[in-house]
Structures are given as C-alpha cells and as structure tokens.
Chains A and B, each alone.
Chain A
Amino acid sequence: MARFDGENLDTALEIISRYPVAKSATIPLLHLAQEQDGWVTDEAMEHIAELVGTTPAQVLGTCSFYEMFKREPVGRYLVNVCTNIACQIMGGEELLHHAEQRLGIKAGSTTPDGLFTVEDVECIAACTEAPCLQVNYRYAHRVSPEDLDRLLDDLAAGRLDDEIPPHGTLARTRQHIPADRAAGPADPTDTPEPVWLVSHAAPATETEAP
C-alpha cells in the first residue's frame, strides 16, 4: 500500500475539491499518505502529484521542507520532547536525556522493536505547562521522569490505544462540507464582487471603479 486506496482516495478527492487550486491540497494529502502508511512513500508522492497536477519532484520539494513528514519509517509512537526555552529552564533537556537512556536510543532514532522514535523538538505551545512533550502530537504537560516512565509503559502495553492513534493519524475528526450548504471554492481568475458587498453598497458614496 502506498498509493491511496479506495476510501482514502475518496477522502483525497474531497479535500482537493475544497480548494480553488488543486496544488493547495498537497500538504493535507501528504498527511493523508502518512496516515495510511505511517510515513510518506515515494509512490504516495507520485500519486499526489497526479492528483494535484504537479510533478513528483514538486511534491517531494514541499514534503522535505516540513518536519512532520517522515520519508522513512518511524516508530508507532513518536515521542517529541520539547527543549526550547521555557521547557529548557524547567528540565526539558534532562527529560529528553531520561527518555534516551530509558529507551537506549539517541534523539532522532527508533527503538529496534519499531515501537518508539524520540525527537528533540522546538516549542510546541505549552510553555506554561513545562516541561512538556507530545506522543503522536497528543500532549503531556508538566512531565517528570517518573511520569515519562509510566507513559512509556502504558504505551508499550497498549493501555493508551484509545487516546493515542498510531503515528501518521493526526485529527480523527475530519471536516465535511455538505453539498447543499457549500458556498464553493473561490476561483482566483473568475469570482465577481461578493453579492453582500454589492447589496450593501451606499449609492451616495459609490466611487469605486467597476
């Protein structure tokens, strides 16, 4: 599996339909590929290029810019420990070292059983809850080394399966715009002045060029 399969292809087409220019769907589709396979494969990027009307090289160019896209397999659980300033001064670096020692790997690598990947990450917007981390982009706040041990045990034992989906799945709720409610995408080359501006225009002060 690498190209989008049946249900994911439907989702991909639905996502593309929301944009006036298909290429804008590139990043959401890269997320969908990662959700399907756990990482972004070359075949998926080729399929995305077909779907949005660009080349595989252009998709790779976009993909390689963004840290969340993994172009090789990572662990089922991506443990991202923040060491940026607010976390650093509250023990974030020590927490990262604890994770490395406990799992026997350096940040940026994966345990041999394929369960955990550890990363040293930049600020994840939980500065008042330092030190903090994310597992597959789900937060843990004010984490002590003991909390981290418990968290890793619970993950390994499958006790958090309901709360934390495997790596690749971000939001489990998707936006759906019902056809009978959609205003539709606004084509950059062919969209007139919005009707509510026209209907509310004050005739006395109307000086704009048509």
Chain B
Amino acid sequence: MTITDAPKIVSSRWHLDDGHTLARYEETGGYAGLRAALAKAPDEVVEEVKTATLLGRGGAGFPAGVKWGFCPPGVFPRYLVVNGDESEPGTYKDRILMEKDPHQLIEGILIACYAVGCSQAFLYVRGEMALAQERIAQALNDAYAAGYVGRNILGSDFSVDVVLHWGAGAYIVGEETALIESLEGNRGMPRLKPPFFPAAKGLYLQPTIVNNVETLSNLPWILANGGAAFAALGAENSRGTRLFAVSGHVKNPGVYEVEFGVTTFRDLIYAPVYGGGIRHGHELKAFIPGGASAPWLYPEHLDTPLEAGVVGRLGTMLGSGAVVVFDETTDMVKAALRLVRFFARESCGKCTPCREGTTWLERILERILDGQGRPEDLNLLMDVADNISVGLAWPPTQTTICPLGQSATSPIASAVMRFRDEFEAYLGGPAPMTVEVKGAAFVTKPAAAPTAGRTQEAVDA
C-alpha cells in the first residue's frame, strides 16, 4: 500500500459545514494565493504553474500552464471559460468542489485571469446542479462586496468580472468548443478543429482558455505554497494530488484526494481509508479507470500507479478520475448496453459515424439482451465500433469532430474482448469474430484466474 501523507490541496474544507462561506474561507487561508499572485508579474504566475506541472483535471490531461501559452500574442480580449459541466458517467468531484468550496474555485479563476490576461471570465455550471449554482452565486456576491472580484481587485490595477452561467442538460457541452457554442447561445455542437483551437479563436472568435473546475481549484494552493512544492508530490508527469471518485461495488464509495502518480488502483479500491475493498463476500471482476469513455481494466492491473503515462501505456486513461468497480455479479452485456445508450442519447448528431454508430450499437445490444441476437451480432458490434474508431486502437483514431463517438467504442471493445463468453451465453453458442483490435487494454482473460482481486472475506468464506 502506498498511502502517503500528502496534504489535502483541494479538499481541505470538505469536512467543514461552512467551508463555502467567505468568513470561513478567509479564516482558513483563503485568497492568500491571489495576494501572492498579485505580488508577481503575470508571466511569473504562468511560470509558477508550469513549474507545478499541473495537468488539466477534466479528462484530456493537458498541462494547464502550457495551454495558457497558446494564446496568440497581442490579440485581445482574451476570455476564460470555466468548464463546470461535469457529466462523464462515474465522475463526481467538480460538483463537490463547487458546493463545498466555491471561493477556492473563484480564487483559482482570478489567478488564471491575472496570469493569462483575460478581460472576462464565464463560469459555466452544469444546469442540473442547483445547489452548486446557489453556492457560487452567493460566493460571487460576497467576493464582489469584499473587493476580491470586479474592478481594481484588492486595490491593484487588475480588474475582471466573473459571470455565473448555467447550462441546461447536455453531456456534449463538456467538450470545450461545444461549451463555447453553448455559451454563445447556440446548440451545443462541437466546432471543427483544426484550424482553430479555442486558445486562438474561441468565444466570440477571440482567444479563449477553457479550464476545468478541479484544475483551477489547485491554483490557490500552488500560488500560496509554490509550484515546486506541488511538483514535489507525485511522479513523472502526474504531480500534486488528484481527486478520484470510487463508486460501484466497494465498501466505502467516496471521493478521495490522493497523491497523484504514486497511489495505485489497489490502494484506491482496497485501502481502508479509501474504497475499503469489494463489498462483503464478493470479488473484483473489472473496473473503469477514468469514466465511461475509458477502456476497462482488470484484477491483474491493480498495482498500476495512478500516473497518466503509465495508465496510457496500458491502453486506457485516468480521464476524469472516475473509478467504477464491478464485482462478479455484474452482467457485462447489460453494463455495455447502459454505457453505449448513454453515448447514443448524448450524441449531438453532427457527425454520421457517431450519430448512426452509437444508435446501432445500442439496438444490436438490446436485441442480444432480449434473446433475439444472432451469432454474427458479436462481430457486427465490433465492426460498427471499428467504423467509428478505425482499428480500435489506443489512443483511439477519430472519424468525427469530437471524441464522443470513439468513446462509445471503449465499453464495446472492452466487454466483447474480455467477456465474450457472456455475449455467447445470450447468443446461445459460439460467435465468430474477425474484427481485430489494437488497443492494449482490450485483452482476453488470462489463462490462470487471477486471485489478486479476491477480498480476504471471499477467501475466508
């Protein structure tokens, strides 16, 4: 076990009943990071964040400081758009950050605006999160009154408005160009890119930085304690700490802040202070390591550290920090259908492979589960998936404007390759398969049944 004593960087106020209030925030070190930032030149703040090696926490995992640097010089205004549209299945962290510590997020937004030179910030909160909207509205009103936001912040020449904006229910809006379309008052359909990424032409075709809630929530600590202190935690490119939501068949489902890069999946799922192991009397069958879009992992992968590069080489991703744990009672065909149905429902309809492909995957899986499947359906599923993301490789190939379509192929390829016997049971016999997969995580069962995932109780029983 690698349970470290890394500090709580973003979740330090979660245990407080009033951590969302300005008074408590100030009492517990709040806005010290903003003061530290204002004492530096904007370029120095960018350097501090680059030193920290803060990877974006939204899913793609791109270094935040580097992303900031993509704004073309001399083009103004620049905007900051905060992505609070958390909706990747399995993901639960940004909502807690917004509900329990809204000032930490606001402070992070201000630091980013100061560093990048953004003239206005828009905080896009998912529509379904009423309490988060209320807490942020109150926090912004209080922060304006106290001089932290708005004109001449803390008596300096730094001025920026932070505008709270509500979404209205669309997963695709989590994609940054769809988020910008939505913020412009349009249907949330992604923009074609290249040629222009948001940093060059984003909101109103001006340079725009889109950052995730958790990413920005790290900035106050980084500025208050230094980028080097942040980079001293973790390993390789995965520095600092990170939030992981552990859900499904564990004893203690919860959202845990752990040291990034060194803590392992085994720690997260089995340590008494985290997941606490598989629920009584059961054993681990598989787990989703990074949200619905991520290829699945299995008991033989438990000792993998939560490090972006290492997990990437396994053929999957840490994504949005969502670990969903399945025990042996899980019907993997049903699980695959539920995940594919999500992507079919949430496809915006702009690109044919995604719109048609996800819908056909759903229909074929429904037919199989209804007992009406044909032996060739297994290969058909894989063939449709291969048409959405050619070669079923990792990183996935993309036939569409955004990654939503290819995401739907992860649960298909994972379930079919690993649990082919479950599909064949529904199909009433062996099903031929000729489609080839390249992704390293799309693996068949090891010859010897692994015992790594067995809980102590199950062994005793």
B168 contacts A by Cβ under 8 Å: yes
Q: Is the CB of B130 within 8 A of A191?
A: no
- Pick the interface stretch among B85-93, B224-232, B437-445: B85-93
Considering residues A178, A184, A197, which has the most beta carbons from chain B within 10 angstroms of its beta carbon?
Answer: A197
B156: chain A residues at CB < 8 Å are: 196
Cα–Cα, bound, A69→B128 (Å): 11
Question: Given contacts A27-B166, A125-B86, A196-B156, is CB(A85)–CB(B339) below 8 Å?
Answer: yes
A residues 53-69 in Cβ contact with B at 8 Å: 54, 61-62, 65-69
Cα–Cα, bound, A185→B160 (Å): 9
Q: Is the CB of B41 within 8 A of A27?
A: no
Question: Given contacts A137-B128, A194-B117, is CB(A24)–CB(B95) below 8 Å?
Answer: no
- Pick the interface stretch among B184-192, B352-360, B363-371: B184-192
- Pick the interface stretch among A13-21, A94-102, A106-114, A153-161: A13-21
Q: Is the CB of B128 within 8 A of A124?
A: yes
A199: chain B residues at CB < 8 Å are: 157
B residues 314-353 in Cβ contact with A at 8 Å: 322, 324, 326, 330, 334-335, 338-339, 342, 345-346, 348
B247: chain A residues at CB < 8 Å are: 86, 127-128, 130
Cα–Cα, bound, A209→B255 (Å): 47
Cα–Cα, bound, A65→B413 (Å): 30
A122 contacts B by Cβ under 8 Å: yes
Q: Is the CB of B167 within 8 A of A123?
A: no
Q: Is the CB of A178 within 8 A of B145?
A: yes
> Contact check: which of A25, A123, A172 meets B90 at CB < 8 Å?
A123
Q: Is the CB of B335 within 8 A of A85?
A: yes
Considering residues B160, B168, B245, which has the most beta carbons from chain A within 10 angstroms of its beta carbon?
Answer: B168
Question: Given contacts A25-B185, A187-B77, is CB(A173)–CB(B89) below 8 Å?
Answer: no
Q: Is the CB of A21 within 8 A of B184?
A: yes
B residues 184-206 in Cβ contact with A at 8 Å: 184-188, 203-206
Proximity bits, B31-53, A CB within 8 Å = 1, else 0: 00000000001110000000000
B149: chain A residues at CB < 8 Å are: 181
A115 contacts B by Cβ under 8 Å: no
Cα–Cα, bound, A84→B338 (Å): 6
Nearest-neighbour CB distance to chain B for A84, whole angstroms, equals 5
Cα–Cα, bound, A184→B163 (Å): 10
B205: chain A residues at CB < 8 Å are: 188
Q: Is the CB of A183 within 8 A of B248?
A: no
Cα–Cα, bound, A30→B182 (Å): 13
Cα–Cα, bound, A127→B145 (Å): 36
A123: chain B residues at CB < 8 Å are: 87-91, 292, 342
B188: chain A residues at CB < 8 Å are: 65-66
B residues 67-124 in Cβ contact with A at 8 Å: 73-74, 76-77, 79, 86-92, 94-95, 114, 117-120
Cα–Cα, bound, A182→B162 (Å): 10
Which residue on chain A has the smallest CB distance to residue B136?
A175
Nearest-neighbour CB distance to chain A for B163, whole angstroms, equals 5
Q: Is the CB of A196 within 8 A of B334?
A: no
Proximity bits, B143-167, A CB within 8 Å = 1, else 0: 0110101110000111111011111
A124: chain B residues at CB < 8 Å are: 87, 128
B330: chain A residues at CB < 8 Å are: 89
Q: Is the CB of B127 within 8 A of A66?
A: yes
Which residue on chain A has the smallest CB distance to residue B93?
A125
A208: chain B residues at CB < 8 Å are: 73-74
Cα–Cα, bound, A80→B204 (Å): 34
A6 contacts B by Cβ under 8 Å: no
B254 contacts A by Cβ under 8 Å: yes
Nearest-neighbour CB distance to chain A for B159, whole angstroms, equals 4
Q: Is the CB of A210 within 8 A of B74?
A: yes
B159: chain A residues at CB < 8 Å are: 183, 194-196
How many residues does chain B have at the interface if contact means C-beta atoms less than 8 Å apart?
89
Q: Is the CB of A191 within 8 A of B119?
A: yes
Q: Is the CB of B161 within 8 A of A177?
A: yes
Cα–Cα, bound, A28→B171 (Å): 18
> Contact check: which of B114, B120, B203, B249 meets A89 at CB < 8 Å?
B249
Q: Is the CB of A188 within 8 A of B134?
A: no
Q: Is the CB of B255 within 8 A of A200?
A: no
Nearest-neighbour CB distance to chain A for B408, whole angstroms, equals 13
Q: Is the CB of B89 within 8 A of A84?
A: yes
Which residue on chain A has the smallest CB distance to residue B165?
A28
A204 contacts B by Cβ under 8 Å: no
> Contact check: which of A127, A134, A188 meets B324 at CB < 8 Å?
A127
A residues 3-49 in Cβ contact with B at 8 Å: 18-21, 23-28, 30-31
Question: Given contacts A84-B338, A129-B253, A200-B41, is CB(A20)–CB(B133) below 8 Å?
Answer: no
B239 contacts A by Cβ under 8 Å: no
B311 contacts A by Cβ under 8 Å: no
Q: Is the CB of A170 within 8 A of B77?
A: no
Nearest 8 pairs of A and B residues by beta carbon: A26-B185, A66-B168, A186-B119, A188-B204, A191-B77, A171-B133, A67-B169, A181-B150
Name A's B-contacting residues (CB within 8 A). 18-21, 23-28, 30-31, 52, 54, 61-62, 65-69, 80, 83-86, 88-90, 122-130, 134, 136-139, 170-178, 180-188, 191-197, 199-200, 202, 208-210
Known: A85-B324, A178-B144. 14 other contacts (CB 8 A): A21-B185, A31-B168, A83-B338, A122-B346, A125-B95, A128-B245, A128-B253, A139-B131, A170-B133, A181-B147, A181-B150, A183-B119, A191-B119, A197-B117
Q: What are 19 A-B pairs at a CB distance below 8 A?
A: A54-B185, A68-B127, A85-B342, A123-B88, A125-B94, A125-B95, A128-B92, A129-B92, A137-B130, A138-B130, A170-B133, A171-B166, A173-B134, A174-B137, A175-B137, A175-B140, A177-B144, A194-B159, A196-B158
